[in-house]
Structure 1
Amino acid sequence: MFEKNSLTLFDHLPTEIVFEIFDYLSSNDTLYGFLNLNQKYNCILLEYYADLNKFEISIKNSCFLQSILPIIQSRVEYLTITDINSCFSLDLFPNLKSVIISTAFPIYTDEITSLTTSKQFRKLTTLKIHSKILNRNAWSDTFCIYQAVFYHENAFKTFELSSNLDVKVLENTINVNIQSLTIQLSYFRSILILLENTPNLKYFDLTLSSLYFSDPLKKEFDITHIKLKKLLITLGSSINEKNFPIIAYFIKQFSSSLIHLSLNLNSIQLKENQFDGFILQQQLLNSMTQLKNFRIFVTFDKEITEIDTLLSTFQNQFWYDHHWIVGIHRQYLFTLPFHFKKLNNFIDFDEIKLSNLKTPSFLSVWPHVTSIDLSQCNDPNLNLIKQLKMNMPKLTTMILNSKLINSLDTDENVALDNVSTIHCKGEYLQNIKQWLIKIVPNTKHLVLSYEPQSTTSSSNRTVYLHKLDAYFRGQRTTRDYTYFLNIQHVEIKFTLHDVEDIYRHVLRLVREFLEMFKNLKSFIIEFHTNFSNYNSMPFTDLNKMIELLNMDRISQKYHMKHVYNYIQFIKKT
């Protein structure tokens, strides 16, 4: 393989230029495109290419894997897994340090178990699982993963898991190596159990779905021996005057060490004069002796009416000395600069009122926001697109309702070029083509979802699938697919209540979409039903679906996978 002669002048480029070209490619694309091209490029890649230690593994390029793995497997230190199966072992990579599992599709617990039982698993320093995890017969059961990760002999320093968990007990799992945790927990008690097993934790990014405090939980717990430096808390449930003091008490356990504190608090039920700058200062911030960075994003359960009164509680020497500036807009209260990545239902940046009128103008730009959800907005500012363009330079994901898409003007010569993911909720799709062409021309990931309001009307159950077909194909005999050339990933999410509806309409939709999107790499259908028995779920018998789809032609181009209420098609390469 090292004797190939150059066929083009490309191989005469200086090595410095070659590496600049490589900078625009993933390590996988670089290896796929240049390894075995000729002796020169084999030498560059195998001896000088720094990113050779980073690799992405996927079933869609299995032939490539078979040829490349024997050459690079001992060099790989950082592995990203985008598809997984129970036969895969980390022991293929003897020098592996970091694993990221990020699939567009849910994965089963036993597929993760195949990794946790590998010898190389205990040598990892980083594990990040960004996929939804399911059991074979029920929803998420991730306790076995925690038990494996927190085992005291492991080398882990960083662990991230996106799936929710209620930790009741961890045995033989006090791990002194773990310094960084990013997790979602079901109950407050799980926090204390985890922290008792990670005494050297420095970074803790916590999403807590419930603030229910069970009877055994007392306010007087002591975890002051843990010297956290950075704490980020996102609360998914409502906060009131009873549970906020416990949250504050928990945070103050780290008052002597905490440098960075970030709070994302949803659905605050307190009256406006019960949760303000004075309360935060007295109940929480005064005791934080080392705190340098404080960031907060509060969503009240109703729009704030006494804005000036609430802002005045943040206009004293304490807030000025720390240079912590607060803004208010509708039902939102937040510090500026805004450092959170996700923003919901924020539709008019011109109406923000600030605690400090001398705020620098650059604070009006929200450079950290990558995703905005406008699906609950029905009265947008007509200049919304322009405002997003000016204020959110890193915006990549938008979630919208179909009525909003239809109400905003697409004639303005303003495009959100960085947006690559669009999620449209609702059944009215008249202007989706115009959005894809004019507003978000670089969309690569398209998500369409619809849940009918009525569970009895047959028209509500089936009309959405007809509309998808009509709006995307158009009425012409010759179909024009130029709208969709950039789109590589499509997801359809909907609710149906009848097995017949699914077989009759979904199968047709699958065939249409696989033909419609010419550059499609993956297509996912997520359906929700009222079936209580898993065995009665549609498509559990893949053989029946293959037969109904006439899969002979489709299977030549796509891998197909079925998990619970998801069906996935991945294009073969």
Structure 2
Amino acid sequence: MTKFEHLPNELVLDIFTYLDSYDLFVSLFNLNIRLNTLIYAQPLSINLGNSLSKYLLDRYYQSVLSPARNQIHTLKLSDTYGRMSNFLKNDNQIQIDFETRKFILSQVKSLILCNPKTTSLNRVLKYVSNIEHICISIGQQTQSTSNYQELFKSLFKMKSLKRLCLDLYDALIIDDDIDVSISLTDMTLSTCYIEDLAQLLRRMPNIRKLHITCYNRRDSLTNDDDNFDYSLIDGLGDCIPLLTDLKLKVMFISFEKVEIFLQQLSQLIKLTFSSITLENYSNGLIWERIINNLPNLEKFSLFIDETYIFEDTLVDLNEIIQSFNSVFWNRWPIVFEYYVEAIDKKHLILYTLPIQEDNLRTYLYGSEIRNNIDEYNQNIEKLYYKKLNQLNFIFHANPSSRNLLPTRIYSNLETLTFSFELINPISYEIDPILIDFQQIFSTSMLSKIERLNLYDRVYPTNFVSKLLNLLPNIVALYIPVSSLDLSITLPHVTTLTIDLNSTTAYYATDILRQIATHFPSIHLLYFESTYVQDVYILLSYCLRKFSDLLYLNVKLDETSSHIDRQTFILWFNDYKQLNGLSDDVQVEFNDHNNILDISW
């Protein structure tokens, strides 16, 4: 038998890529000089975000960061529970000196920041002198200003920054003080006003890849094309000659603005476009005209999804389909899914194949499915829905027909959601639904589903139990408390989220009994509630009874409830001492004290 230390260096380094940084340093570091040399040669990606337990976070500070400080290329920080703020404070709150922390930041090439506070964000950007990639995600709850001009000024001054990803809750307004960045080649931006798009691009002359979502300004409630300054777009293509990959999503923006913008980008090789409104975006003749003006285009994807079509909007499906029936569209097959329940409930989805979205809203019944494909090639058909990871099924009370969704090959489908938009879902007949459901999914395909999300407050009687019987390998489940009274045991479910915001009365003790009965292997447990009084009952039982539990999270409605942090910590420490819980079990709070996180 070959011993580990007899393996060649190349194979040992390959093995190291599969090991967590913590395991690498705790298990193998300082065993001998050779292993130390190989460990030091390994570039590391360190995640200090919320997925790491508080106990392991402290172990990283003690045992990993200091010896690994020269080889950390990617670092992830989060401020949801103040971890990023603590990392950037020049004090002794964490077990690694501040100079080492600054040195690590000066060395990293890639930095991922989740919900950073404004002060933390400004501070960290001062220390990252060799950064090439930054990804910043700022959610609605983050206590951060929605004025991102200062953030952009700092980022565009970074001479080494090549890739930038900004997932912002609100759009920025570009002003003249933002420098030109000659280093940026790749940008993803979740919110940008269409009026600022050209000005932003002119500040990135070497941009090659752009993924962006554009809106009208808040004070522009209509598509006022007459007041739009089209001179901003003139000559734009000459300013960004290297842009070849564009992914553009528009929200309530007129087609005229988009067409004039795309006319400037004749160098595009790949174009991915999506919109949440029909307008002229569903006209194949106009798209054919645009694409003919993009001589280098090799890949094109179109996705139009208007979920709620106004009553007075006339949708002529035949006319739309006819516009895509030319020989030109043989290169990019089109699918149309049109659902009509009533005059005020119409939904149209139009997309090219293979679909580039990972998430699709659909209907088991009642959709009129059309396409412009003359002949199906089985090998090509396997690729049509390869990127689709999640399907969201909607059920209405009166579908226009019982026509089923066609059978398709979903090779990477992992998540399903179900929503019943009914007045009284309790009385809904579910057996025919589940029988039909099995007609469009093979047994092998259902066995690949790992996550099930049930976001409604109430579901038809026995629906959840019978559905779970069809999905034998579910590992993650989101379920309302009203559906917890199941008739089956789910030994594979390790992640469970329970929505306690029910319109029906419940008892915390009943919930705990049902969890213990139906979910024997829970590792990660989440509660969403509006009632702070339930927290102590739920936690005291879960911490004592669920031996496999590694993580417990409680989220309260921020507008109605919060946890008194000091009172809870006193109770928690007493509880640990009285019940013999390890000191490894630790608690963290967010700033609003409406989310608490207990981990081992």
Alignment of 1:477-492 (within 5 A): 480=516, 483-488=519-524, 490-492=525-527
Contact 2:162 2:183 survives alignment (8 Å): yes
Which residue of 17, 22, 25 corresponds with 1:31? 25
Deviation track 1:247-292 (CA, whole Å, cap 9, x = no partner) reads: 33223332x11111112322x254xx9833223324x333222221
By how many angstroms is 1:388 displaced? 8.0
Is residue 229 from structure 1 mapped to residue 244 from structure 2 by the alignment? yes
> Which stretches in structure 2 are left out of the alignment for 5+ residues?
89-100, 339-347, 393-416, 422-429
Residues 1:167 and 1:421: Cα distance change in structure 2 (over 3 Å):
same
What is the alpha-carbon distance in structure 2 between the residues aligned to residue 559 and residue 412 of structure 1?
A: 33
Is residue 218 from structure 1 mapped to residue 233 from structure 2 by the alignment? no
Q: Secondary structure at the match of 2:87?
A: coil
Residues 1:412 and 1:463: Cα distance change in structure 2 (over 3 Å):
closer
The alignment yields a C-alpha RMSD, in angstroms, of: 3.9
Contact 1:60 1:570 survives alignment (8 Å): no
Is residue 546 from structure 1 mapped to residue 539 from structure 2 by the alignment? no
Q: Secondary structure at the match of 1:310?
A: helix
- The equivalent residue for 2:359 is 342
Instruction: Give the aligned residue type for 2:505.
Output: V
Deviation track 1:6-46 (CA, whole Å, cap 9, x = no partner) reads: xx996466357655654543344433443345566445423
What is the alpha-carbon distance in structure 2 between the residues aligned to residue 17 and residue 349 of structure 1?
A: 56
Residues 1:395 and 1:113: Cα distance change in structure 2 (over 3 Å):
farther
Q: Secondary structure at the match of 2:168?
A: strand
Which residue of 85, 97, 118 corresponds with 2:109? 97
What is the alpha-carbon distance in structure 2 between the residues aligned to residue 57 and residue 564 of structure 1?
A: 21
By how many angstroms is 1:524 displaced? 3.0
> Which stretches in structure 1 are left out of the alignment for 5+ residues?
1-7, 453-459, 532-536
- The equivalent residue for 1:264 is 274
Residues 1:56 and 1:449: Cα distance change in structure 2 (over 3 Å):
same
Is residue 328 from structure 1 mapped to residue 319 from structure 2 by the alignment? no
Q: Secondary structure at the match of 1:122?
A: coil
Residues 1:274 and 1:333: Cα distance change in structure 2 (over 3 Å):
closer
What is the alpha-carbon distance in structure 2 between the residues aligned to residue 340 and residue 542 of structure 1?
A: 41
Deviation track 1:531-555 (CA, whole Å, cap 9, x = no partner) reads: 5xxxxx633x521332355655179
What is the alpha-carbon distance in structure 2 between the residues aligned to residue 134 and residue 545 of structure 1?
A: 22
Which range is displaced more, 421-430 or 71-80? Answer: 421-430
Residues 1:74 and 1:23: Cα distance change in structure 2 (over 3 Å):
closer
Residues 1:178 and 1:481: Cα distance change in structure 2 (over 3 Å):
farther
What is the alpha-carbon distance in structure 2 between the residues aligned to residue 405 and residue 160 of structure 1?
A: 44
Contact 1:87 1:114 survives alignment (8 Å): no
Percent sequence identity is: 17
Deviation track 1:363-396 (CA, whole Å, cap 9, x = no partner) reads: 2552212333334356866454772876699876
Instruction: Give the aligned residue type for 2:569.
Output: I
Is residue 564 from structure 1 mapped to residue 596 from structure 2 by the alignment? no
What is the alpha-carbon distance in structure 2 between the residues aligned to residue 219 and residue 343 of structure 1?
A: 34
- The equivalent residue for 2:419 is 376
Which residue of 122, 129, 132 corresponds with 1:113? 122
What is the alpha-carbon distance in structure 1 between the residues aligned to residue 366 and residue 102 of structure 2?
A: 52
Alignment of 1:247-396 (within 5 A): 247-254=258-265, 256-266=266-276, 268=277, 270=279, 275-282=282-289, 284-301=290-307, 307-320=317-330, 323-330=331-338, 331-345=348-362, 347=364, 352-361=369-378, 362-363=380-381, 366-373=385-392, 374-377=417-420, 382=435, 384=437, 387=441
Contact 1:345 1:372 survives alignment (8 Å): yes
Deviation track 1:155-176 (CA, whole Å, cap 9, x = no partner) reads: 2111112222332244242211
Residues 1:377 and 1:570: Cα distance change in structure 2 (over 3 Å):
same
What is the alpha-carbon distance in structure 2 between the residues aligned to residue 368 and residue 238 of structure 1?
A: 26
- The equivalent residue for 2:132 is 125
Residues 1:363 and 1:182: Cα distance change in structure 2 (over 3 Å):
same
Q: How high is the TM-score relative to the length of structure 2?
A: 0.73
By how many angstroms is 1:147 displaced? 2.9
Contact 2:269 2:297 survives alignment (8 Å): yes
Instruction: Give the aligned residue type for 1:319.
Output: W
- The equivalent residue for 2:513 is 473
Q: Secondary structure at the match of 1:250?
A: helix
Contact 1:175 1:197 survives alignment (8 Å): yes
Residues 1:407 and 1:226: Cα distance change in structure 2 (over 3 Å):
same
Q: Secondary structure at the match of 1:71?
A: coil
